[in-house]
């Protein structure tokens, strides 16, 4: 497969090895929050820089931001402004970093130092817990934020042969090196400092090493007519009940015409009204349909046994598959091409086929040279 496609898939899955830990609430913040949580949870892939935390930043939607905005019209207006902005990472990387202090504080888990919590427009609620540790000495976004608002910037990583300056951000500030200005961790390289800091956080009950993924949940439901029916019946007595095996497949009416006013299936009494497969009482058929990505994730498997009417596939799929050469646009890299791989592995794990991968070779249009 083209390396570019594989890298796009790696980025979409977003596997990160790091440390998840808590910045404990300061006493007055704990009393104000009263939410049963011990503090602000953050995740970092750079635990070696933890001793350089000088502030914390939360997303506009974070509970700390919501609490701080009570009775603070200026902060409430800023939070509303943040919520109107973009949430794509490409936008966040280039947008002006803006923030406002919340007046709430947490404590450094290893030093006990008070740390002010800010609302930052560059923090996403969808990433991690919607909060980040502010290490401006070694993170470009935090550096820009700290320079703008006059927050402390501390160098805690030294790269031999490089001279650190607060005048302007340099890419090497984010490189791995050796801990300095970090107390007992001074002199440790990246791996040893991460191990030591993670061990101390765990010993104090504040956190531990963690592997996270940024892969989003897959919503397969569509409120429209032209997808595969979802074989569920909604019964007032029994709840959501699967359609009986002998009543499958559920067939869509072929004379259903969308008119732009919603899912036309919901207006078809002859489709919606049915009997509960469990108790026999009147019930309603599900009118949402499955996203067409459900079809495209395994259609190639069905070609091998299109006449099979008892199961999804049969043993013929192991003879004909995997596909030797697949041609598809790179625009499908993180959707169809990736979810076809996921789907194949699920069917493998459930014993329906023996394949590990659906397509042996991939050619994306536009890469052919003559």
Per residue in 275-315, pLDDT (tens digit) is: 999 999 999 999 999 988 888 999 999 999 999 988 999 99
Which is it for strands 55-58 and 323-327: parallel, antiparallel or unpaired?
A: unpaired
Q: Do 137 and 48 meet the contact criterion of CB atoms below 8 Å apart?
A: no
Say how many C-beta atoms besides its own lie within 10 A of residue 329's C-beta.
11
Position 255 confidence tier, pLDDT thresholds 50, 70, 90:
confident
- Residue 272 is predicted with a pLDDT of 96
- Residue 187 is predicted with a pLDDT of 97
Instruction: Write the DSSP string, 5-49.
Output: HHHHHHHHHT-EEEEEEEEEBPHHHHHHH-SS--EEEEEES-GGG
User: Which residues have CB under 8 Å from 94's CB, separation 6+?
Assistant: none
Per residue in 37-86, pLDDT (tens digit) is: 689 999 999 999 999 999 999 999 999 999 999 999 999 999 999 888 76
Per residue in 240-254, pLDDT (tens digit) is: 999 998 998 899 998
- Residue 147 is predicted with a pLDDT of 96
Q: Is the pLDDT of residue 367 over 60?
A: no
- Residue 222 is predicted with a pLDDT of 79
- Residue 202 is predicted with a pLDDT of 97
**Average pLDDT over the chain, rounded to whole?**
92
Q: Is the pLDDT of residue 269 over 60?
A: yes
Per residue in 320-351, pLDDT (tens digit) is: 999 999 998 898 999 899 999 999 999 999 99
- Residue 223 is predicted with a pLDDT of 74
- Residue 32 is predicted with a pLDDT of 87
């Amino acid at each position: 497969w083209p390396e570019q496609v594989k890298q796009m898939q790696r980025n979409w899955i977003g596997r990160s090895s790091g440390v998840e830990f808590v910045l404990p609430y300061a006493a007055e913040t704990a009393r104000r929050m009263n939410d049963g949580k011990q503090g602000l949870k953050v995740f970092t892939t750079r635990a070696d820089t933890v001793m350089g935390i000088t502030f914390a930043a939360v997303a506009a939607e974070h509970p700390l931001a919501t609490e701080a905005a009570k009775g603070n019209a200026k902060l409430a207006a800023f939070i509303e402004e943040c919520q109107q902005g973009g949430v794509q990472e490409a936008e966040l990387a280039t947008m002006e970093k803006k923030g406002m202090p919340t007046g709430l504080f947490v404590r450094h888990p290893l030093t006990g130092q008070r740390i002010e919590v800010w609302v930052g427009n560059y923090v996403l609620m969808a990433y991690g817990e919607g909060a980040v540790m502010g290490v401006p000495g070694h993170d470009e976004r935090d550096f820009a934020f700290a320079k703008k608002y006059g927050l402390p910037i501390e160098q805690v990583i030294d790269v031999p042969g490089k001279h650190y300056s607060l005048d302007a951000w340099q890419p090497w500030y984010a490189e791995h090196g050796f801990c300095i200005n970090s107390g007992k961790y001074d002199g440790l390289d990246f791996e040893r400092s991460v191990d030591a800091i993670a061990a101390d956080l765990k010993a104090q009950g504040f956190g531990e090493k963690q592997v996270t993924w940024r892969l989003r949940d897959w919503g397969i439901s569509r409120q429209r007519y032209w997808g595969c029916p979802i074989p569920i019946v909604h019964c007032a007595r029994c709840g959501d009940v699967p359609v009986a095996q002998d009543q499958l497949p559920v067939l869509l009416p072929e004379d259903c015409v969308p008119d732009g006013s919603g899912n036309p299936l919901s207006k078809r009494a002859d489709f919606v009204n049915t009997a509960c497969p469990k108790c026999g009482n009147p019930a309603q058929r599900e009118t949402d349909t499955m996203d067409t990505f459900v079809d495209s994730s395994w259609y190639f498997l069905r070609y091998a046994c299109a006449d099979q009417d008892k199961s999804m596939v049969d043993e013929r799929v192991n003879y004909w598959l995997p596909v030797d050469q697949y041609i598809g646009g790179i625009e499908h890299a993180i959707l169809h091409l990736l979810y076809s791989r996921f789907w194949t592995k699920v069917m493998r794990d459930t014993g329906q086929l023996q394949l590990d991968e659906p397509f042996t070779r991939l050619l994306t249009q536009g890469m052919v040279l003559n």
